[in-house]
Amino acid sequence: MMINRMSCTNLAAFSVVVAQLCFAEPPVRVGEGEAETKTRSQMMESLPVRILNSRGEPVCDAIVEPWAIRSGQGHYWWPNGEYDRTGVSPEEVVTDLQGNATIAYPRFTLLDEGTRTIGVSIHVDHRDYAFPDAIHVDVPLENESPYEVILDDAVPIELRPMIGGKRADTSNLYAFWSDVRSGRGHTMARTESSLRLPPVKSGSHSVLVAKMDGDRVTHFSRIVDFEVPREGKFVMDVPLSEVVPIEGVLSENVPRPVREGRIKLQTLPPSDASGMRVQWHTWVPIRADGTFTVEGWPPNEKIQLIALCDGFIARSGEPPPECEGRANDPYLRPQVFNPLETSSITVEMVPLVECVVKTIDEESQPVAGVKVESCPNVGWWNSGSQIYCAPLIKTERFLKYRSGESSTDHVLPHPFRTTSDRNGISKLELPEGKRSLWILSDAYELPIHLGSRRTRIELASGETTEVTLHMRARGTEQLSDWDKLAGVVFGCSTREGRRILALPGVSDKMMEFTERFREAKAQDDPELLARAYAVVAGAFADIEDFGEAARWYEKASRQQEEIDRNDD
């Protein structure tokens, strides 16, 4: 599962041309690809760390947790379970009296593809100190000294909830705050009339308080922004008001009864909001008659929403005043509504496009049982992106149970996923525009094209798109063959990427590669690829990486052989 998007300003155009080369490889589920992973044993490497406070004193009993890893193919969440691609589980460690601990991380980020780990992301947690922002470490370290992390002093927070001008009973009150600990499931302490949060770093913060009856919110506070001083204790009154339901309906072009309908909603952060500002997100089902009800919403917060049902998807929204100038991008965008200005919501919908996919093997024979997927992304205004309408999460349940799994619903099928029948045929409904397809199979994989096992397609409204996926046996070629190029193009925030791009002529060579693809009508044309690969080979030759240059010249030679065969 991809967790973020690294960027390089001078190569941004290239990242668009090659369709996000490193950042959207589909997850492989447990059990798939086992035949390949058995041929390569995972090896564990060591990352020593030392945790200090702001006075340079060692901090013992700090919990250090690796939670993500990076290769040339991208930055991946490192989970313990279904979506793991390393073959090993992360383990947290605790610092000793000298503040030292050693993290074990896998040599291969994608074991089945042979991609090496070049970065580890860690969290550091200690009850007496502020929780630091995500920490990303290039590995292996350049010297034998441990990687040092400095923990800031923290200030305790006390909230005094008020309902109707009086102190509220806190027994059914819950808080969600902007410190990272809140999203990691940490709980607060209760007194009879106050909520006490774990200590936070001084500076800008926000909080939302809700009163619950079972799993239903009955009262909301506003999302309150506040400043925490450098020392002492911060105390604040937080008024709550009773929730007001919001009614909505899908536009009339959606046939009734509506099937498998869902609305996903999120608060819209102000344009100047911190990336850690509290947000509220939830989902509600769409009834057969096209109506839906949002039982409660934080006061004075705008709603950005998306919708999906059989055959239809919400029309991509226009940028609100908070986000002017962001209309021309590759994302599907939410529609925005202000509950203060409307008593009901009408969600404008547009038809999805049918895509018929045929999966065939190297002998052009159809293959049944192949999972075919796509992942159109929604770009939430001011707050990141994710797969459209997946997963379905209710913040109200997270507030109460502090668990991602407990807050996630699995009542509707995962969108944009299907399986080929005995004739190798599968059908998907996808948004119009440029999309990607990939497969999940124990025995087959798509060939690599520009560092990705995906097929790019373009869907036009009202027209059925037919695609044939030519698969090959797993293990024929691995994504690690593209690691060095991926490190140059997308790894500019990594140590290796910065070094390579700093060398004379490399950026110019890569931009030449970009321009050739921009001008091409078909980006899989062998002549284009032969020329482009030769450009890449020249870039590596210029920096005296002759081994890498030879590999790319070999790729160019293979494309030339294909040209010669076609000419014959």
Q: For the chain (length 568 residues), average pLDDT per consecutive 10?
A: 36 28 34 42 96 97 95 82 80 98 95 90 94 91 94 95 95 91 80 92 94 96 94 95 96 98 96 85 98 96 97 96 73 94 93 98 96 95 91 92 89 95 97 94 88 89 96 85 69 66 72 72 77 82 85 88 81
pLDDT at residue 2, as a whole number: 47
* Burial label, 33 (beta-carbon count in 10 A; 0-12, 13-18, 19+): buried
pLDDT at residue 272, as a whole number: 81
Together in a domain, 226 and 288: no
Angle formed at CA 109 by CA 107 and CA 114, multiple of 5 degrees: 80
Together in a domain, 211 and 172: yes
CATH of the domain at 233: 2.60.40.2070
Is 494 within the bounds of a domain? Answer: no
User: Which residue carries 């025995």 as its tokens?
Assistant: 443
Together in a domain, 196 and 253: no
Together in a domain, 413 and 529: no
Count of CA atoms in the C-beta half-sphere (13 A) of 14: 26
Instruction: Find the domain containing 527 and state its range.
Output: 503-567
- In the chain, how many domains are there? 4
pLDDT at residue 509, as a whole number: 75
pLDDT at residue 489, as a whole number: 64
Burial readout 53-78 (b: 16 or more C-beta within 10 A, e: otherwise):
beeeeebeebebbbbbbbbbbbbbeb
Which residues does residue 52 pair with via DSSP β-bridges, in sequence order? 58, 150
Together in a domain, 366 and 226: no
Residue at which a domain ends, from 151, 166, 194: 151
pLDDT at residue 84, as a whole number: 78
pTM for this entry? 0.84
Is 295 within the bounds of a domain? Answer: yes
| d(C-alpha 420, C-alpha 428), whole Å | 10
| d(C-alpha 309, C-alpha 314), whole Å | 9
